[in-house]
Structure 1
Amino acid sequence: MKTELYAAASRGHKNHGWLDTYHTFSFATYYNPDRVHFGALRVINDDVVEAGQGFGTHPHDNMEIVSIPLYGDLEHRDSMGHTSVISAGEVQVMSAGTGLMHSEYNSSEDKPLNFLQIWVFPREQDVKPRYDQKSFDFIHDKGRFIPIVSPDSKDDSLWLNQDVWFSIATLDRDTELEYKIKKRGNGVFAMVIEGQFTVAGKNLNHRDGLGIWETSSVSVKANTDNARILIIDVPMKV
């Protein structure tokens, strides 16, 4: 087993006033040659958007995009005709494929929005763009890995154009789970959303990340109550 720590404090950071953003991997004006991607995982942005503010209409192509609101409401509009609001407990996926335009705003006029935006390199280029979203019960459905994204949707998860699996687990103190990697050759990127964990023997705090590869399973133990962790099971070769 090999591991690499991505401490929360080591992330790229930029406060634009309306947007306070942290970048786990190189993005926009933040560039670190040692933090460009983890296998097919290209971007994890931890964004806090002020009330009524957001990202104006902009293009994407040939990227798989996952948005996970942590608090607040994310308003989405795109060139495929979708208009929706994604709230905490919901997950949005989008295959940009041959190209699309979209915008993302905090739909509240008085409360901030915090969401994770995650980009994954696609398995196939130039697919037809697609969009989907779904609700999950991360608060009450505790003690297990809840599948939220997969390459086949067989477990009621959202489909993505890559051999990648996203899971979220909410655990109470001293609860320990074993995560089994879904595909040979994949690695795992774990990010603590809330609380504290020990993952693969490493202690992780709020928004710390850990890359893990050359193993078939990973141990995950909560060190606080209502601790929440995101697991991204991703190809290491792109």
Structure 2
Amino acid sequence: MLTLRKAGDRGHFDHGWLDTFHTFSFAAYQNAQWTRFRSLRVLNEDRVAPDHGFGTHGHSEMEIVTVVVSGTLAHKDSSGGQGELTRGGVQAMSAGTGLTHSEFNPSKEEPVHFLQIWLLPDESGRTPTYSDGRVEDADRTGTLLPLVTGTGQSAKMEGHGPGLKIGADAAVLSGLLPKGTEVVHEFMQHGAEPRHGWVQVISGAVTLNGTHLAAGDGVGVTDEAAMHLTATEDAEVLAFDLA
């Protein structure tokens, strides 16, 4: 079963310095029908203007993944993590018992475009951690490359990506799919418990198990053995494998 979330139906706010789309309820956007999908709690697509960003603020009991599409994102947190990420940059943060961080666009000219993802942890009370890495476009062209893996079944999906870890049974994969490319992600079943998926189209267009998806569209996948993706245009996608 596929649950479609069209790009134009997402929550949207343009604050001038921040143009943001919310797939699920977040901050001022509240939608009782779209609070989460499995452990996927937040999926925001953000564009931050040059020399602007999010000041120091706190999080707890959440696994946070950020994927940079273009531009530069500077990060600093109370666990000691810091750095600047450009295209292909990925960060994974376990907020655990609590930390503070800031995210800022240090460029004076170029906006930064990124996706921020929150996943519910599989246990509370973790010690806060931060890690980051980067993937080349060539390494994720024509395939779905694991960016981040977690606990349980998702731990088995480690591949040639940056090897980042989170404290949730979830994996985040990235693909650059030239037009006509077909890729398949098969769910690994664990006993009677089925796996679930989500696909988010960042650019271009694909079909997922026969359903057309355009840029900004997302879809939840339930009771399917696999996710079959075909690029009908050159496309960039994120895919999630979820307990």
Shorter-chain TM band:
over 0.9
Matches within 5 A, 1:77-92: 77-92=76-91
Partners of 2:69 and 2:222 in 1: how far apart?
27
- Aligned AA (2:175): A
**Superimposed CA distance per residue, residues 178-211 of structure 1 (whole angstroms, 9 cap, x where no aligned partner):** 1112444221110111111000110000110011
What is the TM-score when the length of structure 2 is the normalising length? 0.92
Partners of 2:184 and 2:105 in 1: how far apart?
36
Partners of 1:88 and 1:56 in 2: how far apart?
22
Shift of the alpha carbon at 1:115?
A: 0.6
Partners of 2:140 and 2:80 in 1: how far apart?
33
Q: Is the 8 A contact 2:146 2:158 kept in 1?
A: no
- Aligned AA (2:89): E
Matched, 1:65 2:64: yes
Matched, 1:175 2:184: no
Residue in structure 1 matched with residue 202 of structure 2 by the alignment? 193
Matched, 1:166 2:167: no
Partners of 2:188 and 2:109 in 1: how far apart?
42
Residue in structure 1 matched with residue 213 of structure 2 by the alignment? 204
SS class of match (1:4): strand
SS class of match (2:8): helix
Residue in structure 2 matched with residue 26 of structure 1 by the alignment? 25
SS class of match (1:101): strand
Say which of 232, 238, 242 aligns to 1:234. 242
Partners of 2:138 and 2:12 in 1: how far apart?
29
SS class of match (1:126): coil
Of the structure 1 ranges 151-160 and 192-201, higher mean CA displacement relative to structure 2 is found in 151-160
- Structure ranking higher in helix proportion: 2
SS class of match (1:124): coil
Shift of the alpha carbon at 1:169?
A: 1.3
Partners of 2:176 and 2:170 in 1: how far apart?
20
SS class of match (1:220): strand
Gaps of 5+ in 1: none
SS class of match (1:9): helix
Matched, 1:4 2:3: yes
C-alpha root-mean-square deviation of aligned residues, in Å? 1.3
Q: Is the 8 A contact 1:148 1:168 kept in 2?
A: yes
**Superimposed CA distance per residue, residues 45-103 of structure 1 (whole angstroms, 9 cap, x where no aligned partner):** 11110101000000000000000111111000111122210111111000000100000
Q: Is the 8 A contact 1:165 1:182 kept in 2?
A: no
Q: Is the 8 A contact 2:50 2:107 kept in 1?
A: yes
Gaps of 5+ in 2: none
Matches within 5 A, 1:218-233: 218-225=227-234, 227-233=235-241
Aligned pairs, how many? 233
Residue in structure 2 matched with residue 103 of structure 1 by the alignment? 102
Q: Is the 8 A contact 2:81 2:131 kept in 1?
A: no
Cα 1:189–1:86 change in 2 (3 A) is: same
Partners of 2:98 and 2:140 in 1: how far apart?
36
Residue in structure 1 matched with residue 146 of structure 2 by the alignment? 147
Q: Is the 8 A contact 1:96 1:130 kept in 2?
A: yes
SS class of match (2:108): coil
Shift of the alpha carbon at 1:140?
A: 5.5
SS class of match (2:67): strand
